[in-house]
């Protein structure tokens, strides 16, 4: 059992490293943001933060949560390719400014429309999933753990969307 676990861990780490490498090569010199969904990058950052918090809450091994944490930083680095970070005097002390008229592009308009339409289905499903999880839960956990468990479950269920 230990050998199988070790082999699977090595292959998982190898494939994760290859995915990071290819993603970095794609984004390294990316000038044109046509066809790139900026909202999906923000959503990836949010979902990765929730997953890391869930893994830390369940005291998971560093082998599992460290690559997830690196993915968060990598997605933030992607935002640097899309936006210019400008300092401002009040909280949160920076703002994101578009590069090369992304806000006027067709991709941004389609991204807004798709996000609006999918939210009509996704938010009610998330609410129903949270209610279902609350009533099906058999163990007594904190609200923090319940919220993380519900969000992670929803992320895994709705991730394909």
Structural domain for 9, as ranges: 1-30
Tell me, yes or no, whether 39 and 25 share the same domain: no
Tell me, yes or no, whether 12 and 67 share the same domain: no
Tell me, yes or no, whether 103 and 78 share the same domain: yes
pTM: 0.81
Number of domains in the chain: 2
Tell me, yes or no, whether 16 and 63 share the same domain: no
More confidently predicted of 105 and 62: 62
Q: What does residue 95 show for φ and ψ, rounded to 5 degrees?
A: -140, 160
Nearest residue to 114 via CA among 20, 3, 1, 35: 35
Tell me whether the omega of the peptide bond preceding residue 115 falls within 30 degrees of 0, making it cis. Answer: no
pLDDT digits (tens, 9 = 90+) for 96-114: 777 666 677 788 888 889 9
pLDDT digits (tens, 9 = 90+) for 109-131: 888 899 899 889 888 998 998 89
């Amino acid at each position: 059992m230990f050998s199988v676990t070790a082999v699977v861990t090595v292959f998982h780490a190898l494939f994760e490293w290859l995915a990071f490498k290819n993603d970095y090569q794609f984004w390294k010199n990316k000038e044109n943001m046509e066809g790139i969904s900026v909202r999906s990058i923000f959503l990836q950052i949010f979902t990765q933060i929730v997953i890391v918090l869930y893994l830390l809450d369940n005291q998971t091994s560093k082998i599992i949560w460290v690559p997830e944490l690196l993915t968060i930083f990598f997605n933030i680095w992607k935002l640097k390719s899309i936006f210019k970070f400008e300092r401002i005097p009040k909280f949160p002390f920076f703002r994101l400014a578009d590069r090369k008229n992304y806000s006027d592009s067709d991709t941004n308009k389609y991204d807004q429309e798709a996000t609006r339409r999918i939210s009509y289905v996704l938010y009610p499903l998330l609410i129903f999933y949270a209610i279902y999880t609350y009533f099906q839960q058999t163990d007594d956990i904190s609200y923090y753990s319940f919220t993380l468990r519900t969000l992670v479950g929803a992320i895994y269920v709705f991730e394909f969307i």
